[in-house]
Structure 1
Amino acid sequence: MRDRDYLELLSKKYPTIDDASVEIINLEAISKLPKGTEYFLSDIHGESDGFDYLLGTSSGVIREKIELLFKNTLPEHDRVELQILIVDTKNMINNKASEKEFADWCRITIYRLIRICKLVTSKYTRSKIRKKMPANFAYILDELLQTDSEENKENYYFSIINSIIEVAAADKFILALCQLIRQCSVDRLHIVGDIYDRGPHPDKVMESIMTFNEVDIAWGNHDIHWMGAAKGSLICVANAVRLAIRYNNFDLLEYSYGINLRSLSSFANDVYKDDPCEVFKPNTLDKNIYDEVDKDLAAKMHKAISIIQFKLECQLIKRHPNYGMDDRILLDKIDYDKGTITINSKTYELKDKNFPTIDKNNPFELSEGENTLIQTLAFSFANSPTLQRHINYMYAKGSIYKIFNGNLLYHGCIPTKEDGSFDEVYIDSQYLSGRRYLKQVEDKVRKAFYCEVGSEEQLNALDYCWYLWCGPKSPLFGKNKMTTFERYFIDDKEIHKESYNPYYYHIDKKEYCENILKEFDLDIEMSHIVNGHVPVKTHKGESPIKGGGHLLVIDGGLSKAYHKSTGIGGYTLISNSNMMMIAEHRPFNEVVESGFKLSPRSIIVERFIRRITVGETDIGKELSKRIDDLHELLSAYRSGIVKEKM
């Protein structure tokens, strides 16, 4: 018999034999339901439009449901319109609202959406569906989904829909219905790193992610420096601002997150007023709507924040010789009179030779103006409510790696030696490898969040967040160095090269991937590794399936910056009760140009011999423990050890 105090506590929730018995019956029934759909994405890089489309269509799953229900009764135009409505509900409603027959459109659309909703919710319990429902329409949605319009409640069913139209709530109700369809098409959302940088709106991506009930995030290196910036790291602030300006993401900084760039623009304009800053002209993959900054000024701002970052990097590396990054201290290798730099005994001419804020006798020191500027920017990061809310969510839902339903998820790599053994990395006065190293890395990241602000322990952890961004043995980076300085200032492409960790050569080997699974105590027959970070060059014949099917790389280049190198518009991984499947997508602009008719190409990773039930999942294991507890409680009631609360 279990501890009596625990059973007494449990009896408060289930005060009678009947209460405990009913819950056992309920949990046993749930265990026999089909496993919910898991949806995996990585390397979103701020592409909010493409991300929302993938979520809204569940990589074509919702389109399949629409075809199943309406292929023989609706023309293709109407079926495509239904798909677009579920993805882009607000815009579709706004476009339809100006039409004369809007009320009739709403009535017909609600009927159709309810049919889709019934189909996608069919494998869930009513209580689970209720949890996913938007609160303002939960009662009405519950009634409509459980009512059969062709039987006894036909008039009741029609009356509800007509009332929705009459009180002018149809638009809001359609929004709620579409949200519920999206929620129930994906039971759990897995993000395998890199929500931030390059694309225009990681903030909107975060807002979309936060609408889901069940989410986990494996942090990527592009996420970690934003996490460090939000918690006070000056170098992470500089890096976040630099990358945002480089990709012309001024709307993100000023409009979405309220980061005041006026001090940066004033400083850059004063210091670099006669400098064209040609090598710092930003990429313009996306246009700003609210904050269109002049390209010449943007280049000056880009250069100003880059120089600050390079100085801070040198200071940080000097503070942490254990990082093994002395080769990244470059500002003291410049001959400021000749405009050259000497690296590894070879001298290169600099593309940009104007350094008005650098004291050649003390090149790592910030000028007074630079110091004031970076402190001002850090203050804006720390006091941005939206950014802080997003980063707090990242800490709450995120981790370096995640094990869920037997699958191992991480963004970058397991640092590995040339011979295929796991590399030992020095961290916190000890050498660790494999799983133990990743656990210690996560512990250090959390110290940046939870330790006393300004304490030595927190500052040390914040510095480590930067190391995870670009350090040679960072499990989130996976390269020997990040040649940002060289790419800006040196023409020779040979010195731009960044060598991948041996991990990326070994993942093609089945035995190596099996060793990773064993390192994390996973079943090599049933488990998979889900990886992001390095885009798969599909157009060159590369496959996302590695290591004899054990490892799946799902970075297919959702970001516009990678479309040329991958040849596609991203991968998503779907694991439902029947199979595990990779969906290969076309670039989002091509999907839009096709009128949303392009469907992803499906690659079957594994087809299960039989349908997987909830009872066979991690949630099922928790349910099993609860059932055992309730059986113990029943025994305690029936033996008189615990009394019923009649």
Structure 2
Amino acid sequence: MKTVESELKYLKLLAKQYPSISKASTEIINLEAILNLPKGTEHFITDIHGEYEPFVHVLKNGSGVIKRKIEELFSSTMRESEKKALATLVYYPEQKLDLIIKEEENIDDFYRINIYRLIELCKYASSKYTRSKVRKLLPEDFRYIIEELLHENIDSHHKQNYYKSIVESIIETDRSKEFIIAISKVIQKLVVDRLHILGDIYDRGPRPDIVMDTLMDYHSVDIQWGNHDILWMGAASGEKTCIANALRISARYANLDIIEDIYGINLLPLATFAMEIYKDDSCDSFIPKISDQDVSTKEKSLIAKMHKAISIIQFKLEGEIISRRPEFEMKHRLLLNNINYDEGTINIKGKNYKLKDSYFPTIDKSNPYKFTKEEESVIEKLVSSFKNSEKLQKHVSFLFSKGSIYLTANSNLLIHGCVPLNQDSSFMKMKIQGIEYKGKELMDKMESVAREGYFFKENTTQKQFGMDMMWYLWTGKCSSLFGKDDMTTFERYFIVDKEAHKENKNPYFKLREDEKMCEKIFEEFNLDTKDAHIINGHVPVESKNGESPIKANGKILVIDGGFSKAYQKKTGIAGYTLIYNSYSLQLVSHNPFTSAEEAIVNESDILSTTEIVEHKDKRKTVRDTDAGKKLQEEVNDLKMLLLAYKKGLIKEI
């Protein structure tokens, strides 16, 4: 038990910050007030997969939070059309104002009306925060003005002229547009206290870089890595197999421009190699999956050849890691050894399959995993390009600084995929560097090793093992990010029989319907079994087939509903998001988003449906959060400091 005497050394250090009874008392009063404020709103999004337009829109509208606040505030004073117009103005102030300025006859009246409305909305959104917290979110140019307007009462007889003069001055000095843009962005920040991204920012969709740039500008965010994210993180560290996988997926979805145009990675060596080696091969199994894109036949043919070339390189590279790391237990994936190159067949798990493509000009039948000199040259050039891409390194550095394999936040366990389990619901074990790990300790160890793969010096054993671990996290059976026994990439390209394509999900995905299993996981991660939830994505919820995202009587929430267009036929919707405010946990399902232009011009929002998963009669306060627990510790320490002052153990300055 802590006593003033036992903590005296620490309290003397604290006294330097609060050198008197009055200053310590003032801080206690301040912190106690903060602890009684309502809990901030948390926003959960997962499996974005480069679909930047719907992501940015959902971020701007706070999964409907802004719209609900407008409804609550102006329900009896504004028409529906006016509410829609105001919401659009908040979401896209720059673009909407450009249209309005062209069309509006009396622009000053428009500015006047909407400035007053935006001030009221901003007041409402900021009401559960301290002034100091709101001040930090205000733009420098308008900080003083917005702060004055937020804390003045428009109905006060004494301040009416003052309030009015500020608004009129904004209009007269031709700063209305800039002010509306600034206060709209403040409102966007205020409605969400913290954003949680539960993985898979990368692959399939067109512009993951825009998603990353948006997150880097966001006021408060954390990221739980997905298997597609760790793949790009491995690629940025220079891990060859991750590079090959990232390129293969980009080619598969005809999305190589993200590699070349956005990240500045030179694909000419790969293209030249592919055109030379596969010039007489149609590469039918490698024709890219193209939707809503205008790609010429010639370009499609080139992409297919590059796609096949990098795929074969990938399989060879995987062989190197599998042979180097017996602890990964993946020898059964050395499939190039199982091919009968003369007959065009392959034996997998004791069964022979006919290959639909048996043209392997770069494979030596006697040594299938040996690279040609040309392949080695292509690989080395790609490694150099990935490691020297300034933009990619900036994005991946952010993923490491803001990210983790899992996060416990306010009684919730946030993971992308799963907690790896055995059939009997015990935690799956894996030996890493001779020591056996399972459950939370396994996930902690994997994260630590992966960080070494990115941050350690070149040509060290730690960096090499860390890079190999990033590849394992992409595809290994004990990876919480992957959650399957095998990744059957080779089979999907080369075997018609879909039986060979099967990937068995980790038992977690069946056992997650069991509340007792959930409680076991909560205990493993030191969470309160009564209030905790597991929130994850990774496996799309097939809503159109009646599958519910709510599992184990509300203990697990699976919020991958198909942000990626590639999954929307399967899910029937365009993504789930989750809102956790001071009263409730709300699951929001979204219909497909048309475009930002449509939203701006026609003032159309994403059609969303909200389901209350959990409602609390007593409003949660900051005291009930993780941040609140830390603040309470500060209060307790300050109270001990007061006692030390009163006892004369520490003298006031």
What is the DSSP-based 3-state SS (H/G/I as helix, E as strand, rest coil) of the residue aligned with 1:572? Answer: strand
* Secondary structure of residue in 1 paired with 2:586: strand
Structure 1's 97 and 294: CA in aligned 2 closer, same or farther, altered over 3 A? farther
Are 1:619 and 2:623 an aligned pair? no
Q: Which residue of 1 aligns with 2:70?
A: 66
TM-score, length of structure 2 as denominator length: 0.94
Where in structure 2 are the equivalents of 1:20-419 lying within 5 Å? 20-99=24-103, 101=105, 102-151=107-156, 152-285=158-291, 287=293, 294-419=299-424
User: Structure 2 vs 1, CA of residues 320 and 105 (structure 1 numbering), >3 Å: closer, same or farther?
Assistant: same
Give 1:286 deviation, angstroms.
5.2
CA–CA distance in 1 between the matches of 2:607 and 2:25?
47
Q: Indicate the SS of the match to 1:58.
A: helix
Q: Which residue is equivalent to 1:601?
A: 609
2: CA distance, partners of 1:266 / 1:194:
31
Does the Cα contact within 8 Å between 2:577 and 2:588 map onto a contact in 1? yes
- Are 1:483 and 1:498, in contact at CA under 8 Å, matched by a contact in 2? yes
Secondary structure of the structure 1 residue equivalent to 2:594: helix
CA contact (8 A) 1:189 1:216 kept: yes
Q: Would you say 1:514 and 2:519 are equivalent positions? A: yes
Describe the superposition over 1:453-475 as per-residue Cα deviations: whole angstroms up to 9, x where unpaired. Answer: 22111111101111110112211
Residue type matched to 2:80 in 1? E
The answer to whether residue 618 in structure 2 is matched with residue 631 in structure 1 is no
CA gap of 1:88–1:268, structure 2 versus 1, over 3 A, is: farther
8 Å CA contact 2:53–2:595 kept in 1: the answer is no
SS of aligned partner of 1:409: strand
5+ residue gaps, structure 2 = none
Please state how far the C-alpha of 1:69 moved relative to its aligned partner: 2.6
In the alignment, is the contact (CA less than 8 A) between 2:344 and 2:355 conserved in 1? yes
> 1:153/1:283 Cα in 2 relative to 1: closer, same or farther (>3 Å)?
farther
What do residues 520-567 of structure 1 show as CA deviations (whole Å, max 9, x unaligned)? 222111111112111111111111111122111111111111111111
Q: Provide the rounded CA distance (Å) in 1 between the counterparts of 2:301 and 2:436.
A: 48
CA RMSD of aligned residues (A): 2.3
Q: Which of 456, 465, 480 does residue 475 from structure 1 map onto?
A: 480
Is the alpha carbon distance of 1:68 and 1:293 closer, same or farther for their aligned partners in structure 2, counting shifts above 3 Å? farther
The one-letter code sitting in structure 1 at the alignment partner of 2:16 is K
Q: 1:149–1:157: 8 Å Cα contact kept in structure 2?
A: yes
Give the Cα separation in 2 of the matches to 1:509 and 1:93: 52
- Gaps of at least 5 residues in structure 1 are none
Count of paired positions: 644
8 Å contact kept, 1:67–1:79: yes
Kept in 1, the 8 Å contact 2:49–2:208? The answer is yes
Change (3 A) 1:257 1:14: same
Contact 2:429 2:478 in 1 (8 A): no
Q: Which moved more, 1:559-568 or 1:444-453?
A: 444-453
CA contact (8 A) 2:88 2:603 kept: no
- 1:606: how far off? 1.1
Structure 1 residues 526-605: aligned runs within 5 Å: 526-589=531-594, 596-605=604-613
Decide which moves more: 388-397 or 163-172. 163-172
Q: CA shift at 1:312, angstroms? A: 0.4
CA distance in 2, matches of 1:7, 1:524: 35
What one-letter code is carried by the residue in structure 2 that aligns with 1:23? Answer: E
The answer (yes or no) to whether the contact 1:248–1:288 under 8 Å persists in 2 is no
Paired with 1:78 and 1:401, the residues of 2 have a C-alpha distance of 42
Aligned-pair identity in percent equals 49
Matched residue of 2:16: which SS?
helix
Task: Tell me the secondary structure at the aligned position of residue 352 of structure 2.
Answer: strand
Letter in 2 for 1:627: V
Instruction: Give the letter for the 2:428 counterpart.
Output: D
Task: Tell whether the 8 Å contact from 1:248 to 1:286 is kept in structure 2 after alignment.
Answer: no
State the one-letter code of the partner of 1:316: I
Cα distance change of structure 1 residues 491 and 613 upon mapping to structure 2, 3 Å threshold: same
Moved more, 323-332 or 571-580: 323-332
Distance 1:37 1:495, change over 3 A: same
Whole-angstrom distance in 1 between the partners of 2:48 and 2:35? 33
Q: Structure 1 residues 370-379 or 591-600, which shifts more?
A: 591-600
One-letter code aligned to 1:636: A
Q: CA deviation at 1:166?
A: 4.2
SS of match in other structure, 1:60 = helix
Provide the secondary structure at the position in 2 that maps to 1:59.
Answer: helix
User: How far apart, CA to CA, are the structure 2 residues paired with 1:163 and 1:426?
Assistant: 68
- In the alignment, is the contact (CA less than 8 A) between 2:486 and 2:504 conserved in 1? yes
Query: Partner residue of 1:610?
Result: 618
Letter in 2 for 1:396: S
Kept in 2: contact 1:251–1:288 (CA 8 A): no
CA deviation after TM superposition for structure 1 residue 100, in Å: 5.4
* Deviation readout 1:109-137 (Å, 9 max, x if unpaired): 32222221111111111111112223333
Structure 1: distance between partners of 2:286 and 2:87: 42
Aligned-partner Cα distance in 2 for 1:202–1:420:
36
How far did residue 12 of structure 1 move? Answer: 2.8
**Is the deviation greater in 123-132 or in 635-644?**
635-644
Aligned residue for 1:362, secondary structure, equals coil
Cα distance in structure 1, aligned partners of 2:593 and 2:425: 38
Change (3 A) 1:194 1:633: same
Change (3 A) 1:167 1:264: farther
SS of the residue corresponding to residue 588 of structure 1 reads coil
**Measured at CA, do residues 293 and 148 of structure 1 come closer, stay the same or move farther in structure 2, by a change above 3 Å?**
farther
The whole-number CA distance in structure 1 between the counterparts of 2:44 and 2:633 is 28
> For each residue in 1:353-375, what CA deviation from the matched residue of structure 2 results, as whole angstroms up to 9, or x when unmatched?
32222222222122222222222
Whichever residue aligns with residue 270 of structure 1, its letter is E
Quote how far apart the aligned CAs of 1:32 are.
0.6
Distance 1:342 1:545, change over 3 A: same
CA distance in 1, matches of 2:42, 2:297: 39
* Alpha-carbon displacement from aligned partner over 1:364-388 (angstroms, at most 9, x marks no partner): 1222222222222222221222221
CA contact (8 A) 1:250 1:292 kept: no
Is 1:14 paired with 2:5? no
Distance 1:31 1:278, change over 3 A: same
CA distance 1:155–1:244, change in 2 (3 Å): farther
